[in-house]
Structure 1
Amino acid sequence: MTDERISTAFILEDFIEAQQWLIGALEIAFPGISIELADSIQSAKKVLTNTKIADINLIDLKLPDGSGLEILRDIKQRRRSARCVITTIYDDDKHLFPALAAGADGYLLKDQDQQLLADEMQRIRQNQPPLSPMIAKKIMGSFARETTLTLDESLTPRQLEVLRMIVQGDSIQNVANKLNISYHTAASHVRGIYEKLGVSNRAEVAAKAFDLGLS
């Protein structure tokens, strides 16, 4: 299982109280982490120009001078492996799915308990998307609706079952245990799902759902 080292962080947030809340969550999740701050799009661009792209980036959606998605895209362009997690108060589909489609690796509601935020952030270490429970439920709900998948992109009933589990954050081993199948078989299902949808991780699966009209 992947165990990524997270030693640097960047927070884009315009409210000081929210900045401190997120700093606290990061320090709980990753003791000793080095943190850079910005409170606007312009100040974020200066930070990104003058420092190395951080391992984990917490990005608010609404800033005084624009959308945090602009910075998210910039970070991903400069360092594709950098983890970008949206931290926001918006829990509706019109904010969630465009963020995932833009490349967000996770989506957290910053008004939740600080320890819960830290616990979700730690999922990055296992290459799993940090998702607030309400957000995970919304993503799951999108797969329960009638889809517009083409025949080439259609999934088997078993693949749909596995898909719902991995979007919730289940590891391949957990999928295997819950379905009483071998790890190899579970991994094969996941690989088939990713190939059919043209994605490479769980966050991209959710974004694909938005692109295909599943939300």
Structure 2
Amino acid sequence: MVRVSIVEDQDLIREGLAILVDGTPGLECIHQHASAESMLSVIQQQPPDVVLMDIELPGMNGIEGVKAVKAAMPDCEVLMLTIYEENEKVFDALCAGASGYLVKKTPPAQILEAILEAARGGSPMSSQIARKVVHLLRHERSTPDTNPLTDRECQILKALADGNGYKAIGHDLHISVDTVRFHIRNIYLKLQVHTQSQAVAHAVRRGLID
């Protein structure tokens, strides 16, 4: 069972999302909140697997909320669900530690699939957001640094950036899924990141992968 926390200040949207989540096999909304502060006050006692969070919130905004969640619970996945599509907000959210980024016009079925994907370690994004991220990272790319990653780690990170899952990467590289996970853990440690989206963003900006 994937435990979900919802952070959304609009009551109708928040309650609708909670009903949607609770009506889906394998998902459970364990708490819902109108502010990041409210959510942060309970996540240690009732830890969620995935937090679905808006950006524009009263008090602490969603981007600061992501940082606080990852500081308190590094293994918790955070999905942004927002009206904002601006490059700056998308990039700030991903660099803060968000696992994925969805716009609110995303169909309900895709939101549910994104929650499940995030719980599996993926980085779901609305299609228009994914295109923005690729465009933004290419233009933000800096002069290549000394690469701390091995050739195999670069292969795996490039495959993640191309949208491949662990099983597909293992099949293509003729290694087990557990070996893929081992390499990804090493990538996270070397780049000092916590999520796939952070790893890809850092690697592209530093010129470690194309």
TM bucket, shorter chain: 0.7 to 0.9
Q: Is the 8 A contact 2:4 2:29 kept in 1?
A: yes
2:164 match: 170
Answer yes or no: is 1:138 the counterpart of 2:151.
no
Distance 1:210 1:143, change over 3 A: closer
- The CA distance in 1 between the partners of 2:32 and 2:131, in whole Å, is 30
Normalized against structure 1, the TM-score is what? 0.74
Out of 172, 183, 188, the residue aligned to residue 175 of structure 2 is 183
Q: 2:141 aligns with which of 124, 147, 153?
A: 147
Q: Out of 108, 111, 114, which is 1:117 matched to?
A: 111
- Cα–Cα, structure 1 residues 206 and 62, in superposed 2: closer, same or farther, change >3 Å? farther
Moved more, 66-75 or 80-89: 66-75
Answer yes or no: is the 8 Å Cα contact 1:61–1:86 preserved in 2.
Answer: yes
1:89–1:109: 8 Å Cα contact kept in structure 2? yes
Shift of 1:62: 0.7
Distance 1:208 1:96, change over 3 A: same
**In the alignment, which of 30, 34, 43 is matched to residue 39 of structure 1?**
34
User: Sequence identity of aligned pairs in percent?
Assistant: 24
2:72 to 48, 67, 78: 78
1:25-104 matches, cutoff 5 A? 25-27=20-22, 29-31=24-26, 33-48=28-43, 51-104=45-98
Higher mean C-alpha deviation, range 123-132 or range 136-145:
136-145
In 1, the alpha carbon distance for the partners of 2:22 and 2:10 equals 18
Distance 1:127 1:97 in 2: 19
1:17 maps onto 2:12 in alignment: yes
Where does structure 1 lack aligned partners over 5 or more consecutive residues? none
Give the whole-Å Cα distance in 1 for the aligned partners of 2:27 and 2:167.
31
- 1:83-142 deviation digits (Å, cap 9, x = unpaired): 111111112211011111111122121221000111111112421122222222222334
- How has the CA–CA distance of structure 1 residues 42 and 159 changed in structure 2, closer, same or farther, with 3 Å as cutoff? closer
74-83 vs 152-161, which moves further: 152-161
Give 5+ residue unaligned stretches, structure 2: none
Normalising by structure 2, report the TM-score: 0.76
How far did residue 145 of structure 1 move? 3.8
Alpha-carbon RMSD: 3.6
Provide, for residues 51-110 of structure 1, a one-character-per-residue CA deviation record: whole Å limited to 9, x for no partner.
423221111111122312233222222222111111111122110111111111221212
Partners of 1:59 and 1:87 within 8 A in 2? yes
Alignment of 1:107 onto 2:101? yes
Please, which moves more after superposition, 132-141 or 56-65? 132-141
The 2-side partners of 1:53 and 1:70 are apart by: 18
* Equivalent residue letter for 1:92: E
Contact 1:143 1:209 in 2 (8 A): no
